[in-house]
Structure 1
Amino acid sequence: MSAEAETIDDTSMCASCGNAAKDDVKLKNCTACHLVKYCGVKCQREHRPQHKRECRKRAAELHDEILFKQPESSHLGDCPICCLPLSLVPKTCIMMACCSKMICNGCDYASVIRKIDDKCPFCRHPTPENEEETDKDLMKRVEANDPVAVRNMGFKRYNDEGDNESAIEYLTKAAELGDLVAHFELANFYRDGECVGKDMKKVIYHSEQAAIGGHPMARYNLGCVEEENGRFERAVKHWIIAANLGDDKSLNALKKGYAVGRIQKEDFAAALRAHQAALDAAKSPQREAAEAARLNNH
């Protein structure tokens, strides 16, 4: 055997037939585990019985590496004007139909104070004067395949028009375009069997897609599913990630676990600090002024 041949390791050879990579033989990784290579589909099929167990194990490990990675921010991201994280507290931001941007109440309030509230604070598009104009703006964004607009059209068909079939179609399209809220809502529909048949596999799939992107409520729900299935360690992992993003329900779940001795003190303390930091990062004088104005008007 030549010195060159002796240096070839298993990863440069087809796991089934043993052919080495050459100019005319391109090896491709097993798409599930990336542990072995094959020179073609035929070899991959023939080697499947020997490789199946190891493949599934490694694929599960790779899946968990992605699933339990802490997102840099929540699915809401930052306000495009003040660049501060958008708060998870409901009704603290508003979606602009003209550009599908989420604007924090602080920046929306500031535009009112500066007397430019007749235009979008972000794109300066004239504010729609009625619902018909709002719908036209939304449809323009839908036609441009804006995932947020597509998702909101799904909500409109469901809430305002009662067209459940069309609503699911829009939400599914929005999810395919990468909208995390659409993934979250589809998970809820498949869990409850509303508008669609109950399907736990789809519940988990859509919940995981939303959670990976930083949706705390989807992450919290996954933790609850893991707890119900007796996998408390995995549940805690989910809740810690969500609490770090500022999710109150996940922090409360961790608090209960700590109270009964199922969570270590240092883990709970770290989650508590990260949760508070996430809340503090979403505060600003403008947002506090907007909230004060809202309370004064009630």
Structure 2
Amino acid sequence: MSCVPVAADGDEACANCGKQGSDTIKLKSCTACRLVKYCGVDCQRAHRKQHKKACKQRAAELKDQKLYSQGHERPEGDFCPICTLPIPTRYPDDDADALAMTQRRVAKKDPDEAKAVEFYKKAAMQGSVDARHNLGCIETEKGNHDRALRHFLISAKMGHKNSLEAIKKRFTAELATKEQYAQALKGYQEALEEMKSHDRDEAKRLRDEQGL
């Protein structure tokens, strides 16, 4: 049976038994993927084995959409947006140091690595530029260069110098296009100008408050 909702006379139906939704039969979407609906828990369980692969793939796509579409602006004051959470120490900026640290953690089967990634994702989606850069480093070490580049592009456009350098290295190694590097450089320069403007405005406000 298909993992796409069954349609009958234009109405949605249970993905397992095909029963149409009605005033008495309330269909509920799979909370992980939203691809299918079920008339009850029994049908959801019966369809689980068949639906599992498509569900997992779509759920991952939805998480990625959220991860890469949010957090493109720095939070006010440029502080960690989830500073009350125990975020691990900042990831090393140097690629060699970052790789060495990850290899040590893997060798020790360090559970904090997975926890760190989750905290970095939460912080990145709320505008933490360092967390976004760190995610790029982690994806690089996993060999996921496309995912790493997407993170670095976002953080470079937010004014993160090391992210811009990371994209420059990838451009030199033919892992990023000329257009991507140019886009990152332009965004980086614009972010710097915006931050300088903010600093000037803040300095003027303080001078005015003090009557200087």
- TM-score, scaled relative to structure 2: 0.75
Deviation string 1:174-214 (CA, Å, 9 cap, x unpaired) is xxxxx43345x52449x999xxx733322221111111111
Aligned-partner Cα distance in 2 for 1:42–1:24: 17
* Unaligned stretches of 5+ residues in structure 2: 1-6, 91-101, 206-212
What does 1:218-233 correspond to in 2, within 5 Å? Answer: 218-233=131-146
Q: What is aligned with 1:65?
A: 65
Q: Is the 8 A contact 2:82 2:123 kept in 1?
A: yes
AA partner of residue 180 (structure 1) = I
Count of aligned pairs between the two proteins: 182
Equivalent residues in 2 for 1:83-232, closer than 5 Å? 86=77, 179-183=81-85, 185-188=86-89, 198-232=111-145
Structure 1 runs not aligned, ≥5 long: 78-85, 89-101, 103-147, 149-178, 291-298
Task: Provide the C-alpha distance between the structure 1 equivalents of 2:60 and 2:23, rounded to a whole number of angstroms.
Answer: 33
**Matched residue, 2:99:** none
Give aligned-pair identity as a percent: 40
Q: Is the 8 A contact 2:70 2:126 kept in 1?
A: no
The corresponding residue for 1:144 is none
Query: Deviation of residue 238 (structure 1)?
Result: 0.5
Give the match for residue 183 of structure 2: 270
Structure with the greater alpha carbon radius of gyration: 1
In 1, Cα distance between equivalents of 2:15 and 2:89: 42
Equivalent AA in structure 2 for residue 236 of structure 1: L
Structure 1 residue identity aligned to 2:125: I
Match of 1:80 in 2: none
Letter in 1 for 2:83: V
CA RMSD of aligned residues (A): 2.8
Shift of 1:286: 4.2
Partner of 2:3: none
